[in-house]
Amino acid sequence: MPGRRSAVLAALVAAAVIACSTPAIAQPRTVARAAATAEHAGPTAAAERRVEAMSADEQARSIVMGHIGGTDPAALRDYMSQGFGGFILMGANVPATDAGLPAVTAALTVDRALPPLIAIDQEGGIVSRMHDDAYPAATTLKTSPPEEVAAAFAARGSLVARAGVTVNFGTVADVTGDSGSFIFGRALGSDPAGAADRVEAATEAQEPFVASTLKHFPGHGAAAGDSHHATPATDRSLEEWRRTDAVPFAAGIDAGASLLMFGHLAYPSVDPLPASLSPTWHGIARDELGFEGVMVTDDLGMLLSSGDPAYADPVANGIAAVAAGNDLVLMIAGSTPATAGEMATGIAAAVASGALPAERLEDAATRVMSLRMQLAADTATWSVCADCAPAG
């Protein structure tokens, strides 16, 4: 959809510089993210050299996105001093006002020359961690034209970026017309074509500000049930998937999304394993859809919450996730301050034993390192237009 892409890009640039008619949009003075987006097609030579010089333990720590609660700078810095490649901010990490969030993200950055990936689930609306995001979200945008989606997500992307957050797990590419589905209120459309147009717009609007993420691949729409408590499954075939759930993800990938999040849901006709642990689905994303960015799991703690004894060991889940093709493993629910380190140690041990190919860990670490280096090189700075007022 190259014609539509150009139109949406023009709309998002206009949205990012418009003044008082749009609430509180930050204005980029220098937007290196726009140029960097073109390089998100895979690992860079500089990242490869850096990863080659790392031990297996260092590589393993670099592909773990950890989490602890609270806003205490000393505790956060001590936690990230273990060498983790990322941190996800949850509600307990966000101060009473968003103005205090930059202090939190600064504390998470042990090495200013190579910041970790600092992520947040800022979809807006139903899933919103930040207090100041009053911009339209999926509940209304699912029937809006793409230009309005672009304006909302340009504003949202700038809000996230100003706080020092570099990754937004904010674009729901799932599609469903079932109002009873847990994902319905978060999806950007109830039909594949309409959702694809809005996912494309949301992706292009955010990428000049933050590394955007498409979730939850290959799509919750057809799988009944909530993956926070179970592993939903669908009898949809691969061919049916290509005509339906795949369409918004393909649009977002073509639009330049930096990350692709894999969901804990199964298409048994394709692979009985949850997609997050499925080599088959990771191969489809790489080989069929052409995604070359960072593949990240949804919260692996959700597998623990499913109650399935096959997924009772978080370290084993992390190893399986990397073996399947994920580059970044995320663990929140059920974790302790020690869990991320234990997962990294387990991944490194799996390499030492031969259970996990060293090349797979190196590839994952290189993709994560490449994104970190690209984000560290960006020179975007932000200011809020003086006359803008919050949405009301």
Site of tokens 């674009």 = 171
| Residue in 300, 295, 370, 279 with CA at minimum distance from that of residue 342 | 300
The predicted structure's pLDDT at residue 224: 64
The strand pairing partners of 28, in sequence order, are 382
C-beta of residue 172 within 8 angstroms of C-beta of residue 221? no
CA dist 212 and 290 (Å) reads: 17
- Residue 34: which region, alpha, beta or left (left: phi > 0; alpha: psi -120 to 50)? alpha
Q: Does residue 83 sit in helix, strand or coil? A: coil
Nearest residue to 329 (alpha-carbon basis) of 299, 357, 307, 308: 299
Number of separate helices (H) and strands (E) present in the chain: 16, 10
- For residues 36 and 197, what is the distance between their CA atoms, to the nearest angstrom? 23
Helix, strand or coil, per DSSP, at residue 224: strand
How much is the pLDDT for 164? Answer: 97
pLDDT in tens, the chain (392 residues): 433 444 444 444 444 433 223 434 444 433 444 444 444 446 689 999 999 999 999 999 999 999 999 999 999 999 999 999 999 999 999 999 999 999 999 999 999 999 999 999 999 999 999 999 999 999 999 999 999 999 999 999 999 999 999 999 999 999 999 898 889 999 999 999 999 999 999 999 999 999 999 999 999 887 666 556 567 889 999 999 999 999 999 999 999 999 999 999 999 999 999 999 999 999 999 999 999 999 999 999 999 888 889 999 999 999 999 999 999 999 999 899 999 999 999 999 999 999 999 999 999 999 999 999 999 987 555 544 433 333 43
Q: How far is CA 278 from the centre of its chain?
A: 18
Distance between CA 223 and CA 71 in Å, rounded?
36
CA torsion sign for 138, 142, 144, 148 is: positive
In three-state form (DSSP H/G/I as H, E/B as E, the rest C), the secondary structure along 364-382 is HHHHHHHHHHHHHHCCCCE
* Positions marked catalytic: 228, 298
- What angle do the packed helices 192-206 and 146-162 form, to 10 degrees? 40
Both tokens assigned to 20: 């008082």
Q: What is the pLDDT of residue 316?
A: 97
Question: Is 300:329 a contact under the CB 8 Å cutoff?
Answer: yes
Task: Supply the pLDDT for residue 382.
Answer: 52
Q: What is the spatial distance between Cα 70 and Cα 59, in angstroms, rounded to a whole number?
A: 27
